[in-house]
Structure 1
């Protein structure tokens, strides 16, 4: 069966550095016509070119990417795409930045795929652990700062002296909460929060 080499490039609109990825794919002899590229905003992860590429990809074809994070936003997604391409599509993957992530090793049915899968699982575990460690360090840092008396969020506004008088007028229905807030130079929400906090 004839196999085809494809390349995939993904850049965010902020990055704009597709040239580096394109050069790496061309150096690997990926035909320019077989390179699919998506340019995405940070929020939008709809990848039309990637979906088009997946439709073309068939058994024994080869997908080349510069780095593993081109396949997904996080390791769960990367693992899912890896499994889909190698197990369901039965295509190969080469990650140029990580030579161990290459399912075309000799004896691909066993050794090559097994080693690449293992490396990917380890990377996934390390990334997940690192994310959890960062969150834990953040939680510990916040707790330590709070113990030192550091306050987070915007500083609370001081309640002006006229507040009690205006609050009393508001309770007597002589003025509306909006009017009271305007006189104090605060939002209506803040006025009502102060009222209910008293």
Structure 2
């Protein structure tokens, strides 16, 4: 049987969730079907949202108080709702009246949102490409600056690794570099000395 599943989020432990919970209950959502996160929306790990999404099945509707309670950004929100729609799950936002994918007009509004998010992604790509081309035209190349195998940190990493007395983890800690950087340094040195 189709059910209403609610999701509530506030940004910190100090904030109250009552306003959102009451609104969801008033809209017909059972209290045991309301999932709560007290965490910043910018965080990708949200346990309440994870449980909420896992509880939804085809025919259900996800209910939120406002759009910004669910998505970290327009693109994230669009991705979540598109994923729900593909699974046959509806989406409604109480304060954003026209956002209700269980109706034809709500679906149309959401498709406009989706198009705007796609447009935003394409504009960002075009601006990035134009910026790189302009930099190249001025003789600048993007990316990481080339380093020589004779750099002191590279030589130290290689020497520390050569005698095998130190663990790689300790070498990285001493030189304040990541494990990936350590291997890049050693490979750069080895490739130059043994072409």
Question: How many Å apart are 1:127 and its aligned residue?
Answer: 0.4
Aligned equivalent of 1:139, options 116, 129, 137 = 129
Q: CA–CA distance in 2 between the matches of 1:35 and 1:25?
A: 7
Aligned-CA RMSD value: 4.2
CA contact (8 A) 1:38 1:47 kept: no
Question: How many Å apart are 1:36 and its aligned residue?
Answer: 1.6
Question: How many Å apart are 1:47 and its aligned residue?
Answer: 1.7
User: TM (normalized to structure 2)?
Assistant: 0.56
Cα distance change on mapping 1:69 and 1:122 into 2, 3 Å: farther
Partner of 1:34: 33
1:125 aligns with 2:115: yes
Aligned equivalent of 2:81, options 75, 78, 87 = 78
CA contact (8 A) 1:8 1:35 kept: yes
Q: CA–CA distance in 1 between the matches of 2:130 and 2:69?
A: 29
CA contact (8 A) 2:9 2:69 kept: no
Number of aligned pairs? 154
CA contact (8 A) 2:8 2:20 kept: no
Which entry has the higher C-alpha Rg, 1 or 2? Answer: 1
Runs of at least 5 residues in structure 1 that lack an aligned partner in the other structure: 87-92, 104-111, 161-177
User: TM (normalized to structure 1)?
Assistant: 0.55
Q: CA–CA distance in 2 between the matches of 1:136 and 1:17?
A: 40
Cα distance change on mapping 1:6 and 1:189 into 2, 3 Å: closer
Question: How many Å apart are 1:49 and its aligned residue?
Answer: 3.1
Runs of at least 5 residues in structure 2 that lack an aligned partner in the other structure: 151-157, 163-181
CA contact (8 A) 1:38 1:48 kept: no
